[in-house]
Structure formats: C-alpha cells, structure tokens
Structure 1
Amino acid sequence: MSVLQRVVKPTTHKGKKILLKKEPQLIEGPKKTIFFKGRKTSDKIRHVLKDMYDLKKPDGVMLTKRNDITIFEDVTPVENFCRKHESSLFVMGSHSKKRPNNIVIGRTFNYALLDMIELNVEAYEGLKAFESSKILLGVKPCLVFNGPLWEESDELKHLKSIFIDFFHRESVNAVRLQGIEHSISFNAMPDGRICLRSYKIALKKSGCRIPRVELEEIGPRIDFTLRRTKLPTPELMKDACTKPKELRVTKKKNISTDNLGSTHGRIHMGKQNINSIQTRKMKGLKKTAQERKIERTAKRKALTESNELIKKKKVHDD
C-alpha cells in the first residue's frame, strides 16, 4: 500500500525560502540531533544525555517527555521525530532490568532509518565532576580514534562513522592552530570497552616556534560496550553516500595534482626538426656580425670546393 505525500506549494516569498532551506543542499551544514528518553531512564542515563547534548549544542534538541518506544521493534516513532524536528541523528536513553543504562545512537537517511547501535554505559563521570574550565559553545572538536579495532569489524566501523557525523560541524578549508581548543578521544579496548574522553587543548610557550601542547581533561568520561546493532544494506549505504554531480571531481586527461597541490600537465608532440625552428624573433637571439661573417665564409668555401669538384669531373670525362 503506497501513501501519497501532500505536496506543499509556497504562497509567499518567505515560505518559498523556508522550503528551499529544507531541500537537500550541495554542501550540508552541521547535522542536527534529537535527544529523547524511552519508557524509563536512570539518573546516569539522564546525565549522559544532558552531557552529550551540551557537547552537541547548538545543533541539538532535547525532548523532555518520556516515550513508549521499543526502537528495535518499531522505529516509526523515531522517524516521525526526525521528520518533525528536521534532524538526521538521534540519541535515545532507556533503562530496564534486561538492558540497564542503555543508549541508542543512530542516523536516518531521507527520514528513514539508516543505522543504529545500542551501547551500554558501564562507567560515567559527568562534566560537573571536572573542575577545569570548559570550552566555548560551538567549538569544532578534533576527533581521535585510537586502536586498530576501529577498522576490524563492521559494528565499530559504523560506530566510528556515527561519532564523526555526530560531532561534525561546519566544513572548513583551513585550520588555525589557535582555533583547535577541544579534542575528543575514542579508544577501542581489547576487552570490548569503548572509552570516550574529552580534553581541552592548551598551547604553552616552548622557547621555539612550535608551542608545547598540553591536554586537560574536562569531561565527560564515559565507557561504553556494544549491545545490539542494526546496520544498513550495502545498497542503502551507497545511496546515502552518493555525491551530487556538481561536487564530483572529473578527472582530466593528462593532468595530475601532486601532494602539495601543484597541477602538472603532460603534452604529446611529434618528432620535430630543431635545426629548422625559427628562433631569431627577438633582438637578443639574432646572430652577431662575426657569426654572419663566419657563416658567409663557410658558404663561399663550400661553393668553391663544389665548383672545383665539378671542373675535375668534366676534365676526367673528356
């Protein structure tokens, strides 16, 4: 059974601008995230949601009501939330006897579920537990993924991709050293724990041009373990990662770019007679008087020798 969606046509200039803003953009901005609670939540999960919301500000929406949602059985309410709040990521906190201290983080594509991963919060220390000074609102964090396990399983690969989308902000062409103030580290441990650590970056004097970098933990400090996952099919993931035609880089023939950004071109030319090329177009390349005299002398000598050879040949023939 197919459901027909109502096509909304703008009647005012302001309404047209709002609809154009909702349409897919060539370069997407920061992805919006909604935070909501399940049937029941513990104090730990409420604080985890609040701290993750503080890290995501101002690109996040916190919903206060509890929701009777079993997300792995029916994801329709979550898709409706994402459509209503124009968000592509969601974080749900829940707590039950079977799955205590539970966090579900996931993404949507075209307002339909793309993937989601369920995490257990084993250990937690909030932002308030650290007395250090905090970072400014909206600072772009530097993400660090430690350990080879991030590339060894599909679950961790998708979790890494979700974390990158979650903390991604505006795309920039260059980074100023003084602008790197916040770093978030993700450690994939052999025992299955995923440790999230947040640091404030301080640049100190070192006596040379390169400053001394110091890290100060500012929280939160969270240890996760994997529970259930729902990964997308390869076809759906391919559609979600498709680039617009305007952003695709078309490779030009015989043109390459090196690691430093310099463009190099290769041309193919046939064999040329260098001696017949006219190079005396400018005054600096003209022959001097002495060179012309030597050239005339050589031509006269060659002409004289050829005439003598012709005379000798005639005498011989006679």
Structure 2
Amino acid sequence: MTVCDDGGACAWSGSVAMDPLDRVVKPKTKRAKRFLEKREPKLKENTKIAMLIKGGNANLRVTEVLKDIYAVKKPFAVLYRKKNITRPFEDQTSLEFFSKKSDCSLFLFGSHNKKRPNNLVIGRMFDYHVLDMIELGVEKFVSLKDVKNSKCPEGTKPMLIFAGDVFDVNEEYRRLKSLLIDFFRGPTVPNIRLAGLEYVLHFTAVDGKIYMRSYKVLLKKSGCKIPRIELEEMGPSLDLVMRRTHLASDDLYKLSLKQPKALKPKKKKNISHDALGTTYGRIHMQKQDLGKLQTRKMKGLKKRPAEKAAEDSGVSPKKSKSA
C-alpha cells in the first residue's frame, strides 16, 4: 500500500499476499478431485479425526500419553512426531493451520514446564477455528505397556461411561464431558454386534479430579443365553486435574450444533410419540348415527314385521294391550 504526499492512502499497488490453504485450487487429476470432494461440506459428515501435537518442551511422560491416546484413536488420528513450539491459550494460529492442513476437527496438545508440569490441552474446531479447549494436568499415568493383559484390536469403538454428579451440574465439567464424547466416540454405526462390545472407557469425576480408566470386556459362560460380563484393566489409565478452560460463547456453541434442514425429520400429521418411543396415531372420522349401528345378530334383537313396516312409514308402532 502506497502513501500519497498529503498523507492519505492511495490505491493498492502490487499483489496481495494470500494463504496458500485459502486459495481456490482446481484439481488437475482424478485423485486430487477425490481429495477435495472429501473435504467438501456434506449432510452427513465424515468421522472426526484428531491430531496429536507434541509441544516444544514435552517430556517423556507426555510423549507416552500422546502415543497411547493415538493407539486408542487409530485410525481416526494423526500423530505429529516433531516438536512444535506453540502455546494454544496465547496463540491459536498454528493449531488452526495444522487443522486445515490435515483436515482435523479435534486436537490434543501435550507440553511440560515448571509452572504446568505434564500438561494436556484437549479441544475441538469449528470451521477450522478453535471452538473450545480445556487444559488438564496429568498427575498419574499407567501406559499400555505397563499392563500385561490382552488388548483390543485397532479401530474398536469404545463404550463411554461417565460417573459423578459434577458432569451434570458444573458447566465446565459438562462441556468437558461433551468434549470427551466427541473425542473418543468413533464412527457412527447402524447396527451393534454383541461380540463387538469389548472396550470400555470409564471417566469418574470426584474431589476435583478426573480418573480415566480403560477396560476390556470379557464375555464368560453363565449357563444361560446372556453371558456373564467381566472387566479387565487394559490401559492407558490417567489421573487428571482441570487447570484452564477456553469455552465458546453460548451463541457460537449453539451455532456449531446447528443441523441442516435436510437432516431434520419431517413432521407427519396426526402422529405422535411418547417417552418410550411408542407411536400413536389420530384418526378423524365423520359423524356417525348410532341408531343405524350394526350390532350382533340375535333372535332376541330381531324386529317384528309390524315394527319394520312402522319404521318404513315413519309411524311409531302401536303398543299391544297386554303391554
């Protein structure tokens, strides 16, 4: 931008610098076309992918935590093995750059320093911008290698269990619960197979700490059709404490939850559902003459010939003397 002699700003001169990721790229090959189509907005979005980033001063414990979380999240995760000097609560541009580059909407950042040792920052993106993030401190950690038990296969969808009233009372813990569900839920499946329910992630909030435990479900013989269920600790297990939070405003959070109109179920007239899912239908009928209602044919209800003739002529039948 050039400045005129009188101090005013003149027109733009030269080209304007533009972020390479913001440019409109036209695909030259079919492979590039398929790659761009995957990133386009869809009615049913793809499974959310998480990126795990190691800070510039991450120690061995934080590195092991990121590796174990990556093993739990695979194949819906990207692990950055090189150290990245960034501070999410001070500057979020690097996180947004990595999010746009790898097409990830979830992130987990690990760091370590004297003021905040063994630090984890978990968060999510909305339109490639940080929506909310929560800083957690790791007080105790047991890795997958330390537990000498059988493991679940890669890509197993976990069952999530949350214990503690604080998850429903406190707004920060309520948002943390939503964030953890978003992070670990995995792909949406149409059907559930009993043998596939073999992995449990249990989160307990008590006395200002969050305990994360992972178990493998063992189906044992019980002598009946329903098997006996046992839980075997598998790892990783973490004892966490909440430190700092960066939560989105209510308006922005509500906007991020908005769904397109095409996904909303269309209302059907005269059909309602109760809390248990039972369907009720309302039927509209014309006014009926109950006098002409066909009843069960019995000899005692059979009309006499005189009564029929009187009804046809519109005259009430004469009563007998004996009556």
TM-score, with length taken from structure 1: 0.85
Q: Who is 1:63 aligned against?
A: 80
Distance in structure 2 (CA, Å) of the matches to 1:95 and 1:302: 99
Computing the radius of gyration from Cα coordinates, the structure with the larger value is 1
Name 1:87's counterpart in structure 2. 104
Q: Which of 293, 298, 305 lines up with 1:296 in the alignment? A: 305
Q: 2:242, 2:300 → 1: CA distance?
A: 86
250, 266, 277: which is aligned to 1:234?
Answer: 250
Q: Which amino acid aligns with 1:224?
A: L
In the alignment, is the contact (CA less than 8 A) between 1:88 and 1:107 conserved in 2? Answer: yes
CA contact (8 A) 1:29 1:169 kept: no
Indicate the residue corresponding to 1:312 in structure 2: none
User: Tell me, what secondary structure is at the counterpart of 2:145?
Assistant: helix
Residue identity in the other structure for 2:238: I
Partners of 2:179 and 2:268 lie apart in 1 by 34
Higher helix proportion (structure 1 or 2) = 1
Please, which runs of 5 or more residues in structure 2 have no aligned partner? 1-15, 319-323
1:108-162 deviations in whole A, cap 9, x for unaligned?
0010010011110000110011000000110110000001111121211111111
1:38 to 52, 55, 60: 55
Q: State the match for 1:212 in structure 2.
A: 228
Q: Does 1:111 align with 2:128?
A: yes
The secondary structure found in structure 2 opposite 1:9 is: coil
Tell me, yes or no, if the aligned pair for 1:30 and 1:168 is still in contact at 8 Å: no
The percent of aligned pairs where both chains have the same amino acid is 45
1:2 is displaced (CA, Å) by 12
Aligned equivalent of 2:10: none
1:83/1:268 Cα in 2 relative to 1: closer, same or farther (>3 Å)? same
Q: Which residue of 1 aligns with 2:239?
A: 223
* Residues 216-275 of structure 1: per-residue CA shift (max 9 Å, x gap): 000111000001110001111111100111111233332112456443211233532133
Structure 2 matches for 1:267-306, cutoff 5 A?
267-276=283-292, 295-299=304-308
Q: Is the 8 A contact 2:51 2:77 kept in 1?
A: yes
- TM-score, normalised to structure 2's length? 0.84
1 CA distance for matches of 2:66 and 2:130?
21
Unpaired runs of 5+ residues, structure 1, are 310-318
